[in-house]
Structure 1
Amino acid sequence: MSGTQLMSAAVLRELRGPITVEQRPRPVPGPGQALIRVRAAGLCHTDLHLATGEAIAPPLPIVLGHEIAGEVAEVGPGVDAPVGQRVLAYYYDGCGRCAWCVGGMENLCAAPNAKWGFDTDGGLAEYFLTAARCLVPIAEQVSFAEAAVLGCSGTTAVRVVRAVAEVARGEVVVVIGAGGVGLAVTQVAVAEGATVFAVDPHEPSRAQAIRYGATAAVDPRAADPVAAVLAATGGRGCDVVIDTVGNEHTPGQAVRMTRPRGRVVLVGYTDKPAALDVLEVVVRETILRGSVGATLADARAVMAMAAAGRIRACVAGEYPLGGVDEALRRLAEGSVVGRLVVVP
């Protein structure tokens, strides 16, 4: 180990346990790989699920963090990315051989090489090792914090709005949840020419959704969101519901607020049973879809949108590596409007 360079990393060693900063050997890039000096790593509710083992149980110990932006520090053989280049690291390295990967849908690959921050060490560290093919350049006018946040919430939004929900100009879209993903979905849907209604119990989140282009925002604690949407659409119902929350109640609400043959897309999830009346789905001919993650093409698309000022990241605060536990605590409380970012 003589001469080995070290780095600081935030390590999770047990589910629901503390995330502690440790010294680890700095990775050395091999063929086709790039070492990134991490400048910002976003946190989202997926990280909370991983840290607690709710719905997703990661291998332990692990360095979480799948929203990663920084600079190329070193490259391995066969990589031409320039050292110092500002990049977003797309977090899913598919096998590259299956029909899904060949078709550009790496997010559906059943045997990926790595899902950074899920099954392989992620970006809550000073340095991060990735496949060079997963790098997306960041424009100078986009900050590292913004790029990191959009690397998850923005890419997810681009995929769900364009590829899965297939939102068309003039449609009415209800976005359940105005957290990081919900706010990004709102912006992308507005950019596609839709009229957006947001549903969220927190006033600051509803206000942010309005600032990002939502026509109205409903507090589900004060009013029945299904009745509110039906009233706003003259009893017709909306064309699309995108559920970014995914608790026990929201899928059923989503079906009831859509028009016949409307589309309901589930993005959020829970490990608890959800109340969904199958008969309602059948008699309405509701089109029910799921949406998971995003593709490399989606990552490139959202970085282009950010460079053009067509989508903004809502960065709610920054923490050092030693503050990951505190940041996750805030996420669990539901008090965060947008996303929190760790700056190693």
Structure 2
Amino acid sequence: MTATILVVEDEVIIGMDIKNSLKKLGYNVPAVVATGEKAIEKAAIIQPDLILMDIMLKGKMDGVEAAEKIRTELKFPVVFLTAHTDQTTLQRAKETEPFGYIVKPFQEKDLHTTVEIALARCKAESEIRKALEKERELNELKSRFVSMVSHEFRTPMSTILFSADLLGMYINQWSEEKKMTHLQRIQSAIQRMIEMLDDILVIGKAEAGKLDFKPRPLNLEKFCRELVEDIQNADKNQHPLNVNIQDTLTEVKMDDKLLRHIIINLLTNATKYSPGKTPVNFSVFCQDNEITFEIKDSGIGIPVEDQERLFDAFHRATNVGSIPGTGLGLAIVKRSVDLHGGTIIVDSKMGIGTTFTVTIPLSKE
């Protein structure tokens, strides 16, 4: 790709000469400007790969001041053009961390060498920044993972240990009914841990790009009603679940495993973060060759500051309090929707409720 270079030179003839030399060397030079103010304005518009900046510009702002503003505000690399410069100005120029100097007058080969070195350095630094950012994200992800595991696994493990200890001490004294109660608590705790591990495996596959997408014919109405029944049983019918599913949705082509992740997670969240007895509305309909799933609750809502990171793995809203959760559900939902080529929109107000709208095109293969 051809590099774009902005030339800042207040001597018109010299500026045009530099432009012609750069164009001859194969670079794109969209403009030559004469002042520091124009350099900042033009750089913001054309987004150059490199700026050649004369140090001794005329006017209120010299090249050093312009370069400093460009470095701090726009983050573009600058190579200084300089002739006879006093030590004070040269020291100021160094403090702007330029990507090189060209001493006027210069040969075309010197110009080419300096520009290529500056562009190469800029590319290398950009790749280093990306690698450091990726490493920072991975470290943050690891930290959140460790925190989630240590917190969320502690409760079911404590339940298992407590019930097992009691069974060991009182197994010959308790009734069959009381023993069965503690066995069921152990089973529920183990099931909770299995679900958390499954979520971790799913998000791990998604992050590695190994989450399979296998659409197949599906009776969507029947599929959704079965999932609603599962949610109602898990919720112990604490929330009225109003279901409106278009009855013509008998044969569609979707990945049932990914779709299960989408619907189960959204409906579970709707019940989990809503006060008891408040309704949850679930609608499914087809329009313009797209299937829309809408889940609406009257729950606690999602703070505005959390909505930006809503689909990040292990991130949980700041207002969830002691409500258990891993912060993986919505991350899995987003990956599953993306694999279907769909979109997900959230509309949430604190203390009023949240609506998730998932739209999936039927033509996606």
Higher strand share: 1
The TM-score, its normalising length taken from structure 1, stands at: 0.21
Higher helix share: 2
Query: Which structure has the larger Rg?
Result: 2
The TM-score, its normalising length taken from structure 2, stands at: 0.20
